[in-house]
Amino acid sequence: MQVDWKFAPCKYRCGAVNLRDKNAVQEPRKEDNRPKRRHTFLRIDSWIDSTVWNAGFRLAEWWEETTIFFRRFRMRGWKRALFEVLGETATWGTAGSVLMLALALPAFEETKGNWRAQSDFAVTFLDRYGSEIGHRGIIHEDSVPIDELPDHLIKAVLATEDRRFFDHWGIDFLGLARAMTENARAGGVVQGGSTLTQQLAKNLFLSNERTIERKIKEAFLAVWLECNLSKKEILRLYLDRAYMGGGTFGAAAAAQFYFGKAITDVNLAESAMLAGLFKAPARYAPHVNLPAARGRANEVLTNMVQGGLMTEGQVIAARLTPATVIDRAQVKAPDFFLDWAFDEVQRIAAPFAQHSLIVRTTIDMGLQHAAEDSVESSLRQYGESYNVKQGALVMVENGGAVRAMVGGRDYGESQFNRATRALRQPGSSFKVYTYAAAMEKGMTPETVVVDAPITWRGWSPQNYARKYAGRVTLMNALARSINTVPVRLAKDKLGTEIIAATAKRMGVETPIRTDKTMPLGTSEVTVLDQATAYAVFPAGGLQSRRHGISQILNYDGDILYDFGRDAPPARRVLSEQAISSMNRILTQIPVIGTARRAALDNGIVTGGKTGTTQAYRDAWFIGFTGDYTTAVWFGNDDYTSTDEMTGGSLPAMTFKRLMDYAEQGIEHRAIPGIDNPLPDATKEPEAVADAKPDENALPPLVRPRSLSAEVTRLLKAIGATFEKASPLKAPDKSSGRVAVLDTPTDNPPNPVTTSATSN
């Protein structure tokens, strides 16, 4: 049988029967029960295709129906413009809300700690000699409840600080708009828009630094306070925490200080005077400027009448009979130091059961007043010509005791402590850490390096004069503040990690960035950091052990903490070889380097380093003698540039003015590792080379001397003898003799008897 294969049935073409093999035995084909995979895949593919097509078709139908539906709401003319504006407003408002929430996250971090901790302490501070210098803290239970305060005091505060206090939720947009309008009319800031809650947020969590970041935090924290506290609690905290001048915090303390009476007993005139202090406590403090305080109180009374809280008839008596204050001597409290010391007390005394404490500090009020005078006189005389408005200073005695601290020009105007909290670029004053690390590696002041153009990671630093000196010694490189040398040392010899570790070991507590520009001082530090670290040089390479608290006592006289007893001993942080090399270099900078205006009179050897940052935003001088280390900074809070002020100008002159005062009438200590460290008392001091006296300089400060250096040494020796002397035992009445024991032990030696004195 012939088969046409082209038209053969499927079973033949598929090989079910082999017709070409005539002898083949045909057997019935068994049924294959396995699933046909290709058919399954085809069904899946078909389902996906149909599903996707149907979904797309239905989506298109929905979109068309939606479009047709919304065409009914299409606006034309002025209505369309209105809705476009509303739509854009909603879009940008949503984006802005997300952005503001992101910016608010740092603000909420401030609330994680125990922000009420200040109310757990009541501290009386003494200076190094035991004289009272101020108070900090308030016991929460002892603060006066709002319901017990005089009604006219509450009205005076609200009329002046926040008339809509009970009508807003932390931010008063109506009050802000009104303040902006008044300021625009006056062409300056004459009215503030911050609410009382915002001011409390600033007092509790933030500083007085004028930045956008701080204002954003303040706004969100104000809302947070409104959500977590009642209006009465907010008002009470505000009255308890606000600075009121004269070193007092809180209305209750101010009433006692100015009027000698409890806050519950103040009259309307006194309440108006207290309410006027919140704006500018230093300017309107009645014990400093009583006429200004009374004028401000009269403004408060006017605010009460304009706000509808009182009538003119009710306040007329207070106008005619203004408040009088207790006649107090004008003793300026070291408020910046006390704020820092109070933080230290809370850290040290946290485990103590008693929080009503007496604290003996390290501050020397004579040096403190001289430091304040030095900073203020420099700003008053040269501030306008250099376009600089702020300064800060820290003085540390050899051994670590902080003797003076100036955190700003006016504590009443701004309580932000620029000595401990402001992070500023140190400029060339940071180079000492690079050189110290190099000396630890075995280099010496005579080691020769190349001052030439250098490129590191795409960065090419230049020297101040845009010139290069070629081969120079490390001494000349640091004395002349050459920029390429520390960068070359960091690149080829040290690395930025070693430099950062050296700075941290010497006492810089602020985190240090280790980028390529760090050797030239681009990583921010505080004035306190610089004073602490530089104090290692006169300490011979040992830790300076910076501290502001000598003793903490309770009111029973028990010593709860003593620095000499409880603080760990100083560790060595730089080798003797490195210290000797660094001191040899640093003591030449006031002689042949950039700090010639810092050289002291009377031949006292001085070491130190200047620092000037980019665009003249910051100017530093940190210097030391064998007795004291002082760090000085000048700049502007808003980071605007000064008028080409360098570290060798105003900071160096301020250092000299203070240190000339501090070194008078004391027994001088030597700077270790240098030749002729002490002045020769038999010779007249030589003029510093190339140092030109400033004809406009203020007269030097004169330190009062009650005792000569010789008498002081003798009294110290007598005091040391008494401390080492054996204690006296109670008189033995039977023998009429007094027994003396060397030291109390379990098995005391035989007592040594002495004759008792009788009349």
- Show the DSSP H helices in 393-549 as ranges: 431-440, 474-479, 484-489, 496-506, 527-534
Out of 119, 143, 414, 428, pick the active-site residue: 428
- Kindly state the average pLDDT of the residues 216-221: 82
User: Highest mean pLDDT range out of 452-466, 539-553, 601-615?
Assistant: 539-553
Predicted TM-score of the model (pTM): 0.70
Closest listed residue to residue 622, CA positions, set 699, 521, 691: 521
Which of the pair, 511 or 37, is modelled with greater confidence?
511
- Kindly state the average pLDDT of the residues 176-190: 64
CA–CA distances in Å: residue 496 to residues 166, 434, 488, 490, 523: 55, 9, 11, 6, 12
- Kindly state the average pLDDT of the residues 297-318: 92
DSSP single-letter state for residue 547: B
In the predicted structure, residue 406 carries a pLDDT above the cut 80: yes
Which of the pair, 21 or 53, is modelled with greater confidence?
53
Q: What is the pLDDT of residue 534?
A: 97
In the predicted structure, residue 698 carries a pLDDT above the cut 90: no
Contact 603, 659 (CB under 8 A): no
Q: Report the b/e string of 704-717 with b at 16+ CB within 10 A.
A: eeeeeeeeeeeeee
Q: What is the pLDDT of residue 164?
A: 84
- Show the DSSP H helices in 387-443 as ranges: 431-440
User: Highest mean pLDDT range out of 202-211, 212-221, 245-254, 473-482?
Assistant: 473-482
In the predicted structure, residue 215 carries a pLDDT above the cut 80: no
Strand partners, 125: 134, 359
The DSSP-derived string for 40-66 is: HHHHHHHHHHHHHHHHHHHHHHHHHHH
**CA gap 283, 290 in Å, rounded:** 10
Q: What is the pLDDT of residue 87?
A: 82
Cα dihedral 371/374/380/381 (nearest 10): -170
Cα dihedral 202/205/206/208 (nearest 10): 40
161 has catalytic annotation: yes
φ, ψ (nearest 5 deg) of residue 48: -60, -45
CA–CA distances in Å: residue 331 to residues 245, 258, 349, 371, 415: 12, 13, 28, 15, 18
In the predicted structure, residue 18 carries a pLDDT above the cut 80: no
CA–CA distances in Å: residue 129 to residues 359, 364, 556: 12, 8, 19
In the predicted structure, residue 570 carries a pLDDT above the cut 70: yes
**CA gap 304, 155 in Å, rounded:** 7
pLDDT band at 750 (very low <50, low <70, confident <90, very high): very low
In the predicted structure, residue 588 carries a pLDDT above the cut 50: yes
Residue 702, both tokens: 């004169």
CA–CA distances in Å: residue 757 to residues 109, 522, 727, 730, 738: 69, 71, 17, 14, 10
Closest listed residue to residue 239, CA positions, set 78, 377, 119: 119
Contact 255, 261 (CB under 8 A): yes
Helix (H, G, I), strand (E, B) or coil at 731: strand
Q: Tens of pLDDT along 407-442? A: 999 887 888 899 999 999 999 999 999 999 999 999
Q: Can you give the C-alpha Rg of the chain in angstroms?
A: 39
CA angle in degrees (0–180, nearest 5) for 532-533-537: 110
In the predicted structure, residue 287 carries a pLDDT above the cut 80: yes
Cα dihedral 123/128/131/135 (nearest 10): -20
Type of residue numbered 44: I
Type of residue numbered 739: A
Mean pLDDT, the chain, whole residue set? 82
DSSP single-letter state for residue 170: S
pLDDT band at 209 (very low <50, low <70, confident <90, very high): low
428 has catalytic annotation: yes
Q: What is the pLDDT of residue 680?
A: 60
Out of 161, 218, 270, 663, pick the active-site residue: 161
Q: Report the b/e string of 213-233 with b at 16+ CB within 10 A.
A: ebeebbbbbbbbbbeeeeeee
Contact 270, 263 (CB under 8 A): no
**CA gap 668, 60 in Å, rounded:** 93
Type of residue numbered 101: L
Contact 259, 270 (CB under 8 A): yes
Least confident of 76-90, 93-107, 640-654, 741-755: 741-755
DSSP single-letter state for residue 735: T
Q: What is the pLDDT of residue 437?
A: 95
Q: What is the bridge-based pairing of β-strands 737-740 and 448-451?
A: unpaired
Q: What is the pLDDT of residue 384?
A: 93
Least confident of 23-37, 41-55, 136-150, 602-616: 23-37
Contacts of 12 (CB under 8 A, 6+ apart): 3, 5, 19
Q: What is the pLDDT of residue 37?
A: 67
**CA gap 124, 233 in Å, rounded:** 26
Q: What is the pLDDT of residue 326?
A: 84
Q: Give the helix/strand (H/E) hosting 203.
A: helix 196-205
**CA gap 221, 237 in Å, rounded:** 14
Residue 641, both tokens: 């540039």
CA–CA distances in Å: residue 117 to residues 138, 335, 345, 551, 555: 10, 19, 12, 21, 20
**CA gap 429, 637 in Å, rounded:** 20
- Kindly state the average pLDDT of the residues 533-557: 93
Q: What is the pLDDT of residue 390?
A: 95
pLDDT band at 210 (very low <50, low <70, confident <90, very high): low
Closest listed residue to residue 524, CA positions, set 439, 452, 620, 594: 620
Q: What is the pLDDT of residue 462?
A: 87
* pLDDT > 90 fraction of the chain, expressed in percent and rounded: 44
pLDDT band at 667 (very low <50, low <70, confident <90, very high): confident
Residue 344, both tokens: 């230290």
pLDDT band at 755 (very low <50, low <70, confident <90, very high): very low
Q: What is the pLDDT of residue 11?
A: 45
What is the separation of C-alpha 532 from the centre of its chain, rounded to a whole number of angstroms? Answer: 15
Longest dimension (CA), the chain: 164
How would you class 665 by CB atoms within 10 Å of its CB: exposed for 0-12, middle for 13-18, buried for 19 or more? Answer: middle
Which of the pair, 175 or 18, is modelled with greater confidence?
175
- Kindly state the average pLDDT of the residues 313-341: 86
Closest listed residue to residue 661, CA positions, set 366, 381, 337: 366
**CA gap 230, 215 in Å, rounded:** 23
Q: What is the pLDDT of residue 738?
A: 47
DSSP single-letter state for residue 620: E
Q: What is the pLDDT of residue 116?
A: 61
Strand partners, 404: 395
Q: What is the pLDDT of residue 709?
A: 62
Least confident of 202-211, 357-366, 496-505, 690-699: 690-699
Q: What is the pLDDT of residue 571?
A: 94
Q: Tens of pLDDT along 226-272? A: 888 888 889 988 888 888 887 788 888 889 889 988 899 999 999 99
Helix (H, G, I), strand (E, B) or coil at 730: strand
Q: What is the pLDDT of residue 7?
A: 46
Strands (E), 132-272: 132-137
Q: Tens of pLDDT along 29-78? A: 555 555 566 678 788 888 888 888 899 889 998 988 888 887 776 767 77
Contact 358, 126 (CB under 8 A): yes
φ, ψ (nearest 5 deg) of residue 136: -145, 155
Residue 414, both tokens: 């701004």
**CA gap 606, 588 in Å, rounded:** 8
In the predicted structure, residue 9 carries a pLDDT above the cut 60: no
Contacts of 724 (CB under 8 A, 6+ apart): none
Residue 750, both tokens: 């035989």
**CA gap 469, 143 in Å, rounded:** 67
